[in-house]
Amino acid sequence: MNAAKVDKIVSEVLVGNKRYIARAISMLENESSQAAEIIKGLYPHCGRAHVIGITGPPGAGKSTMVGALVNQFRQSDKKCGIILIDPSSPFTGGAILGDRIRMPEHTTDKGVFIRSMGTRGSLGGLALATRDTVKVLDAAGYDLIIIETVGIGQAETDIVQTADTVVVVSVPGLGDHIQTLKAGVMEIADIFAVNKADTDGASKTVRELKLMIELSNYPAAERPPVIPVSSLKNEGIDKLAGSILELHSQALESGRFEKRRKEQLAIELNEIIRWQLIKRINSKISQHELDVSINELYLHQITPHETAHNILKSLLKGDE
């Protein structure tokens, strides 16, 4: 592909052409040789979107909630980009997931773009691929970018930390989930949504969460609100949507937004450096050299640290 084609992709993404948006995301995911040029064309146009992370245990109703939130946001004509992260799924490449996300009405809405991402196809890892997808949607003019991910494990936590506003979804009757929250996921929440508030035990869960927040390290002024909602019945969704937007305006004013974005950029830069280094190493070291080194390690003739040091040294020298 030549430069003219990259220009075409960039300009079509910038005017919001969905076909080209999907294509650009695939090219970035697959590390096409034009990926760097595409990002370069889009990056100056990024930075306007509000990125919202929705996380919680499997089956908590996250997708239903995303659908209900999008309905709400669309009423004020905000364009919504949705990224569904499914770490266990082999599917990727923009499968139409209107069905799975329980929002079939949105698949024909011009102001809504839905993308699913699995682990396969994103060579540099899911977090990097997610950030690049956010860039494409941001440049394409989506006002809100909503990332849904199952809240288990560090990888998912990292992805959520790509967001400006993180909503942690809980549901009644999940004592264990509250325990996991205590163990660390808790700190990432800007808002707690107790979904399925139409079922028994919701007020108990709300009380438990509020207590936990009081006992936690949140500074009093930054304690996340706990909002009961029924995504299924569309109750409390207006309040949740309002709270998400309100927190964002506050963060913009107080400087919290800038601080968090800069922390995220530092993490992203670090990940890209590591990824590029690994790619370079893999392309420059022959299997034979590697076998020799591993044999030396096996015979305890050299330490793994020395071997790694030597490999890096010879690589960096080769680059000079």
Ligand X SMILES: Nc1nc2c(ncn2[C@@H]2O[C@H](COP(=O)(O)OP(=O)(O)OP(=O)(O)O)[C@@H](O)[C@H]2O)c(=O)[nH]1
CA distance 215 to 217: 7
Q: Are 261 and 69 in contact (CB under 8 A)?
A: no
User: Contact region for ligand X (CB under 6 A) — 17-25, 228-236, 252-260, 296-304?
Assistant: 228-236
The residue from 72, 165, 230, 293 that contacts ligand X (CB under 6 A) is: 230
CB of 290 to ligand X, least distance (A): 40
Instruction: Specify the pairing of strand 50-56 against strand 112-117.
Output: unpaired
| Residue whose CB is less far from ligand X, 68 or 140 | 68
Name residue 127's amino acid: A
CB of 62 to Mg ion, least distance (A): 5
| Closest CA relative to residue 192, chosen from 167, 217, 222, 174 | 167
Q: Does 165 bind Mg ion (CB under 5 A)?
A: no
Q: Are 80 and 112 in contact (CB under 8 A)?
A: yes
| Cβ density class 20-34: b for 16+ within 10 Å, e for less | bbbbbbbbbbebbeb
User: Contact region for Mg ion (CB under 5 A) — 58-66, 186-194, 296-304, 310-318?
Assistant: 58-66
| Residue whose CB is less far from Mg ion, 62 or 135 | 62
Q: Does 61 bind ligand X (CB under 6 A)?
A: yes
Q: Are 111 and 73 in contact (CB under 8 A)?
A: no
User: Contact region for ligand X (CB under 6 A) — 60-68, 172-180, 183-191, 273-281?
Assistant: 60-68
| Residue whose CB is less far from Mg ion, 97 or 191 | 97
CB of 309 to Mg ion, least distance (A): 45
Q: What is the dihedral of CA 30, 103, 52, 160, to 10 degrees?
A: -50
The residue from 7, 11, 59, 120 that contacts ligand X (CB under 6 A) is: 59
CA distance 76 to 9: 29
CA distance 38 to 61: 35
Query: Which of ligand X, Mg ion, none does 109 bind, CB closer than 5 to 8 A by kind?
Result: none
Cα–Cα distance list, 228 to 185, 237, 317 (Å): 19, 9, 59
Q: Does 238 bind ligand X (CB under 6 A)?
A: no
CB of 97 to Mg ion, least distance (A): 9
Q: Does 116 bind Mg ion (CB under 5 A)?
A: no
Query: Which of Mg ion, ligand X, none does 116 bind, CB closer than 5 to 8 A by kind?
Result: none
Residues 6+ apart with CB under 8 A from 140: 13, 14, 16, 21, 81, 113
Q: Does 63 bind Mg ion (CB under 5 A)?
A: yes
The residue from 50, 79, 106, 196 that contacts ligand X (CB under 6 A) is: 196
User: Contact region for ligand X (CB under 6 A) — 55-63, 111-119, 201-209, 244-252?
Assistant: 55-63
Q: Which of residues 95-114 bind ligand X (CB under 6 A)?
A: 102
CB of 167 to ligand X, least distance (A): 12
The residue from 3, 4, 33, 58 that contacts ligand X (CB under 6 A) is: 58
Strands (E), 37-189: 50-56, 80-85, 112-117, 144-150, 165-170
Cα–Cα distance list, 34 to 11, 26, 244, 320 (Å): 15, 11, 36, 25
Q: Does 199 bind ligand X (CB under 6 A)?
A: yes
Residue nearest to Mg ion (CB): 63
Instruction: Give the pair of three-digit tokens for residue 172.
Output: 């009644």
Residues that bind ligand X (CB under 6 A): 58-64, 102, 150, 195-196, 198-199, 230-232
Residues that bind Mg ion (CB under 5 A): 62-63
